[in-house]
Structure 1
Amino acid sequence: MSAYPELLDCASVLNAEGIATVVPEPEDEVVQQLSLFEFETFKRRVSFAHLRKIRDPRTYGVLAVNVDRHGILNYVGPNTFAEIAVAFAQSKKIFLLQNVPEAYHDELSAWRATPLLGRLDRLIATFREDCMVEDPQARLFD
């Protein structure tokens, strides 16, 4: 969630291009006031709900917003890696906003994750090619 503002920016761009997005529930200041038990209950609930959305047959793929964090280039946190693994297990497309992080290079390469190098237009083009049909209805009388 450390890249939440960037995640919202990406969702906004994709939504403007007609690509529906699913964004995880934010962890706001209220969460910081929860007891450990309450926080774990909250985290379990929102994580399960988000992973269920990734598994949904209507979900095309996942975009990991892996901006540099904590002094690590192309950082992918544990929750994001779990989301990527679920997407892989469900044969979904995997996109990385930046490049492949060194720590997960072997897995993400084998899982055919696509590094976008900051260019969402590559994801948009791939989505359109795979999912958007100009005129799906048969033209019988042309």
Structure 2
Amino acid sequence: MHIVICSSIDFTPQIAQVAQGLTRLGHTVDIPLTSQQIIAGELTLEDYFAEKTNAGESARRKIEHDVIRSYFEKIKMADGILVLNFDKKGIANYIGGNTFLEMGFAHVLNKRIILYRPVPEMLYTDELLAFNPEVIDEDLALIR
């Protein structure tokens, strides 16, 4: 299966670990460009966090690399997405803005939407549930 991982960049260490696990299981995996840059040592997670605190810097990176459109294209070519939804900002199983947007793309494209953990309690929980995601409770072997 060709899987695109959707997640907060804050979770890059987990993204790398899960991508390796999926590859070992025989899947083809795409991960976010910024996570690729962090894993390759081209950017540190600390520098990324510093960018996020500087108004507009994170947006500049997204615009410069056309991040939203390029990830949409990856989702179009994939069989589905795997959302890595770990705890963040005091919210269990957090799903942020970009990931929510990517889930919407996948839904409109009739792609399989898989959540690593259960649906979080957030302002847009009803919309998340309407995407009808599969929850694997951290068990990658359930992805077939």
What is the TM-score when the length of structure 1 is the normalising length? 0.75
Tell which has more relative contact order, 1 or 2 (C-alpha 8 A, sep 6+).
Answer: 2
Q: 1:53 aligns with which of 67, 74, 95?
A: 74
Q: What does residue 88 of structure 2 align with?
A: 69
Report the CA distance between 1:36 and its aligned residue: 5.9
Q: 2:113 aligns with which of 94, 99, 122?
A: 94
Equivalences, count: 122
- Given the alignment of the two structures, is residue 80 of structure 1 paired with residue 99 of structure 2, yes or no? yes
SS at 2:141's partner residue? helix
Q: What does residue 34 of structure 2 align with?
A: 26
Contact 2:103 2:131 in 1 (8 A): no
Report the CA distance between 1:38 and its aligned residue: 6.4
Q: Which runs of 5+ in 1 are unaligned?
A: 128-142
Q: 1:116 aligns with which of 120, 123, 136?
A: 136
Percent of aligned positions that are identical: 30
Query: Considering only CA atoms, is the larger Rg found in Structure 1 or Structure 2?
Result: 1
Q: Which runs of 5+ in 2 are unaligned?
A: 1-8, 36-42
- Given the alignment of the two structures, is residue 43 of structure 1 paired with residue 62 of structure 2, yes or no? yes
Report the CA distance between 1:74 and its aligned residue: 0.6
Report the CA distance between 1:41 and its aligned residue: 3.8
Pick closer, same or farther for the CA change 1:107–1:26 going to 2, 3 Å. same
What is the TM-score when the length of structure 2 is the normalising length? 0.74
Report the CA distance between 1:9 and its aligned residue: 0.9
Q: Distance in 1 between matches of 2:84 and 2:58?
A: 24
Q: Distance in 2 between matches of 1:2 and 1:76?
A: 12
Report the CA distance between 1:20 and its aligned residue: 0.3
